[in-house]
Amino acid sequence: MKIATYIISIIALVICVFNVSKIDFQAPLENESFTALITAIAAACAILIASLLRISKKVDRVVKTKV
């Protein structure tokens, strides 16, 4: 599970960087820039979710060892 969350995070980071490079900062809410903006936000959310999963698994291990 730990390796899977790292792989998901790396893929999401690559997608995020790619889409940020596609955003036209003069008009970020028009045409392809809007799609790139939404996809970059979604990739950032995927990174956050994978990090939360990793942290929750770590907390679960610590709690099990203390009980």
pLDDT at 64: 92
> Distance from CA of residue 56 to its chain's centroid?
16
Rounded CA separation 22/32 (Å): 8
pLDDT at 3: 92
pLDDT at 51: 95
Where exactly are the structural domains of the chain? 2-66
pTM higher than 0.75: yes
pLDDT at 28: 87
Q: Mean pLDDT in each 10-residue stretch from start to end of the chain (67 residues)?
A: 92 96 91 94 96 95 89
